[in-house]
Amino acid sequence: MRLHVDYLRIPVAVIGLAMFWFAAAALAETKTPAFSSTPAAVKSRLDNVRRLVSTSSGAQRIADGNNASAKSGQATARAHLDKAEAAYEAGDMATAQRELQLATEAMFGAIREMGTGKAGIEKKHREFDSKAESVDTLLNAVERVAKEKGGLKKVEARAAEIRQKAAQAQRLERSGKADPARDMLDAAYEEAKVELEKLREGETLVRSLNFASAEEEYHYELDRNDTHQMLLKVLLEDKAKQAGAKKMIDGFVDKSSEFRAKAEREAAGGNHKSAVKNLEEATRYLQRAIRSAGVYIPG
């Protein structure tokens, strides 16, 4: 199973309604600077940039925080602002505008480094906790499948190593080192997916064994269906929130549920051979649901 999951990180700088126009202007400048070079226009912009760098809510968060990268960006912005003010006093408006542009870019970069204040920090905590729970769920699946396939000690040992990495990430996060903690947790998540991928890639070998009875095969397929449901929940929780993908996924899940319900009715009536076929179909619809959100899974 080859998994391709894209993560979109969108940093947002919230610096108050008073800075809204300035943010829009900064975005426009990155394409085509079009500010007037008259002394009055430059003076007005100097005042705006000075507020951005020194007294805006974003500047205050940087000053109150301990993000070294953000503080460095703010210092760079101040240096460009000083050069802009010197150029303005010397009557060099073109240089003043260039330095103001550089100050603006540096400061917005610094603000993005800080995130979005208390709400942003809390959101990061929630996202971290959710990812940590997903890592734990994946590793539970790895360990369970390993046991199903005869107690694969190397796989179980590997799962234990990944758990240690996830635990270390959680300790880092609690100590306030959010960025390295998230990087480490993301790595643990990817490693857990790879381990589960390896186990499921070998599934056809397990399937080639002769089952003692149709009932035994039914219970195997039932467990396989449960595993795919778990994968859908854990691996696609972010993509499932997208409206278009969610509609398609829900359709496949509904079809899967219909086939599983039919299989369970047949098994209850003793017709395990037919129940197996319907469970296989139920699992195929779950595989389609996973693929519809951009995650490749064979089968």
pLDDT in tens, 122-147: 667 777 877 787 787 778 777 777 77
Rounded to whole angstroms, how far apart are CA atoms 183 and 186? 5
Q: List the structure tokens of 299.
A: 């089968």
| pLDDT for 260 beyond 60 | yes
| pLDDT for 149 beyond 60 | yes
- pLDDT above 90: percentage of residues in the chain: 20
DSSP 8-state class, residue 213? S
Estimate to the nearest angstrom the gap between the alpha carbon of 262 and the chain centroid: 36
| pLDDT for 263 beyond 90 | yes
Rounded to whole angstroms, how far apart are CA atoms 129 and 165? 15
Rounded to whole angstroms, how far apart are CA atoms 184 and 81? 37
190 or 204: whose pLDDT is higher? 190
pLDDT for position 242: 60
pLDDT in tens, 84-103: 999 999 999 999 989 998 99
Token look-up 């959100």 returns 293
Rounded to whole angstroms, how far apart are CA atoms 132 and 145? 20
| pLDDT for 19 beyond 50 | no
Estimate to the nearest angstrom the gap between the alpha carbon of 169 and the chain centroid: 16
Rounded to whole angstroms, how far apart are CA atoms 264 and 194? 31
Does the predicted model carry a pTM greater than 0.85?
Answer: no
Please give the mean pLDDT across all residues of the chain: 75
Asked if 116 and 13 count as a contact pair (C-beta separation under 8 A), the reply is: yes
pLDDT level of residue 258 (50, 70, 90 thresholds)? very high
Rounded to whole angstroms, how far apart are CA atoms 192 and 185? 10
- pLDDT above 70: percentage of residues in the chain: 73
Query: What number of other Cβ atoms are within 10 A of residue 180's Cβ?
Result: 12
Q: List the structure tokens of 197.
A: 């991928």
pLDDT in tens, 53-69: 988 877 887 888 888 88
